[in-house]
Structure 1
Amino acid sequence: MKIEGKDQYIKITVIGILVLLIVHSLLGSISFKAFFNLTALEIIFAGIILSVIISFSFDTLIVTVKMIHASFTDKIDYAGDIHKLHQLSAKVKREGVLSIQSEIELETQTFLRDAMILLNDYKKPEVIRDILEKDMESRRANLYRPYNVLKMISHIAPSFGLIGTLIGMIGLLSNMDKTDMIMNNMAYALVSTLYGGLIANFVAVPLMGRLKEYIDRNMLRWAMIMEGILLIAQNDSPRNVFDKMNVMLKESERLEYPRSRVEERNWTTYELES
């Protein structure tokens, strides 16, 4: 945990430094007054928002905001899942599958709770696998909805920047006899393209990458849970449940088998982590 926190601090520091360098390079080349063009901002943001609202439901847009926030704040606890299913396997071995009903009611993670319900209701592992795979595919499709919103923004932002440029050039050519209008329209034309490129490449595309990583982490979590539940349904040993889930992690993140915490031969009392 300390290493993860240190890495996060270093990452934030590096991002801050790079952002300052970009801002310095922009404002070092042009004045803030020239960089901030309200007309260009209006056409860029109004065009992007209008296109997104037309293309996607409000529910999808709300989910997009929530998922972006979750990608920064949610910590997926693979180790907790492995230990939880390891203990669940021991409990089922000791007391039978019907003994997990109380744990189902306490479980807050929806995919794991649904998997535990299937384990409690079905005896055939192939039936459980088929249902969980369909559940994972459905969840994956829902997770990609926000990704598609950002993908669209990354495509249309430069286009609206070009539209702003064309409008600025039209204004420039229409007022060739007015020096002040020529300068204003020229600045508007160039800044519009800049805004479109910045929104696409410094906002939408990085967030797409972050959401893709967030989706992959969740898919790995669900695959691990499914593997553990299927092994329990097959009446496999708690050690196999632990090892086969553990091996799905990166080598640097794999856990040691908790011999000191669980004495499987004596079937001592287990407490499932909620």
Structure 2
Amino acid sequence: MKRNILPAIGIVVGFGLIFASMAANGSLLRYFDVPALIITLFGSFSAIMISFPFKTLKKVPSLIKKLMFTPDDDRGALIETISFLAKKSRTEGILALENEIKELDSMVLIHGLEMVVDGTDIDTIEEILNVELEQTEDRHSVGQQVFLKWGEYAPAFGMIGTLIGLIAMLGDLQDPSLIGTGMATALLTTFYGSLMANMVFLPIAKNLEIQTANELKTNEMIIEGVLALQRGDNPRVIEQKLASFLSNSDKKNKKESKKAVAVAEEF
């Protein structure tokens, strides 16, 4: 896992800019209203509690942690590992991979190699690994849905709070001088809902979506490598095929590292 401070920086900078703009127009206290916060935050969270089971909501802290600590998704290193395993399998036999499995971190690669060593046919391996891939996508999508829905509910409850404030204000128009203040207070709930949705909940959902997409793409690469191992493909062909999963920058870095190794071996 690698620490990822960019989301925290984005939240701090975003709120900082908004608070600076608010402070430029007067005291920040005019933007603080306890009932509005209660309606927006606790109201939207109540809707989340209705929408999702408790076992899903228990995962919210771990999802926040995942936001700050991203997986070490080094596809280049995985390609080198799979290429090494292919060479070992070709020279020493498929059973020689059994000792290497203990040193691996990727559960998809471990499960795939275990089936390869056990002699499972290639169609069954592909089917089982694809099912695992689908289950991983389903598990991750639940976390994304929590924050997507929260991003939808927060502005909605902000609008509800605004309507409550307007009803209360319009119900008592004996003092016209209070209309402006009452209107400002009523609009605060809409402000809170829009702010939390667009600064916190929806960005978190998008971050989790991107992380899931990257993890699925890496797992697809691993599955392709495992199937190639089972077929007994040439290690060089396997490496070239898996390199298609790398970005252009990663391919360039991989080529440069190979050149550096070749130069070092010459000396």
> TM-score of the superposition, structure 1-length normalised?
0.83
Cross-structure match for 1:199: 196
Instruction: Give the Cα separation in 2 of the matches to 1:22 and 1:244.
Output: 48
Flag the 1:187–1:15 CA change in 2: closer, same or farther, 3 A.
Answer: closer
Match of 1:93 among 90, 95, 100: 90
Distance 2:196 2:242 in 1: 40
CA positional deviation for 1:30:
4.6
Match of 2:242 in 1: 245
Matching residue of 2:265? none
Distance in 2 (alpha carbons) for counterparts of 1:71 and 1:12: 9
Q: Does 1:51 align with 2:47?
A: yes
- Alpha-carbon distance, 1:199 to partner: 1.1
* 1:108-130 alpha-carbon deviations (Å, 9 max, x no partner): 32222112222222342222111
Letter aligned with residue 27 of structure 2? S
Q: Contact (CA 8 Å) 1:153, 1:200: kept in 2 or not?
A: yes
**Helix, strand or coil for the counterpart of 2:246?**
coil
Aligned with 2:187 (options 186, 190, 199): 190
Matched, 1:71 2:53: no
Task: Give the whole-Å Cα distance in 1 for the aligned partners of 2:120 and 2:18.
Answer: 59
1:23 aligns with 2:23: no
Once residues 192 and 27 of structure 2 are traced to their aligned partners in structure 1, the CA distance between those partners, rounded to angstroms, is 15
Matched with 1:168 is 165
* Alpha-carbon distance in structure 1 between the residues aligned to 2:49 and 2:226: 41
SS state of the match for residue 247, structure 1? helix
Contact 1:122-1:128 at 8 Å conserved across structures: no
SS of 1:122's partner is coil
Aligned to 1:141: 138
Letter in 2 for 1:231: A
Q: Tell me the distance in 1 between the aligned counterparts of 2:161 and 2:6.
A: 38
The verdict on how the C-alpha distance between 1:68 and 1:217 changes in structure 2, with shifts beyond 3 A counting, is farther
Secondary structure class of the residue paired with 1:197: helix
Aligned-pair Cα RMSD in Å: 2.9
Percent identity over paired residues: 27
For 1:214, the equivalent position in structure 2 comes to: 211
Q: Where does residue 269 of structure 1 map in the other structure?
A: none
- How much has 1:242 moved relative to structure 2? 1.4
Change (3 A) 1:84 1:121: same
1:175-213 Cα offsets, whole Å, 9 max, x none, are 323578756643331100000111111112211221111
Separation in 2, partners of 1:172, 1:117 = 69
Which of 100, 111, 116 aligns to 2:113? It is 116
* TM-score computed with the length of structure 2 as normaliser: 0.85
Is 1:103 the counterpart of 2:114 in the alignment? no
Matches of 2:216 and 2:155, distance apart in 1: 32
More displaced 10-residue stretch of structure 1: 33-42 or 170-179:
170-179
1-side partners of 2:8 and 2:46: how far apart? 33
Measured in 2, the distance between the counterparts of 1:158 and 1:126 equals 48
Structure 1 segments unaligned to the other structure (5+ residues): 263-274
Query: What is the distance in 2 between the residues matched to 1:229 and 1:251?
Result: 23
How far did 1:148 drift? 0.6
| Higher deviation after alignment, 172-181 or 121-130 | 172-181
**Structure 2 runs not aligned, ≥5 long:** 263-267
Asked if structure 1 preserves the Cα contact closer than 8 Å seen for 2:67 and 2:204, the reply is: no
Distance in 2 between residues matched to 1:259 and 1:229, nearest whole Å = 27
C-alpha distance in 2 between matches for 1:98 and 1:134: 25
Q: Superposition pairs for residues 123-134 of structure 1, below 5 Å?
A: 123-134=120-131
Equivalent position amino acid for 2:31 in 1: F
- Number of equivalences: 257
Give how far 1:53 is off: 1.4
Q: Say whether 1:34 aligns with 2:30.
A: yes
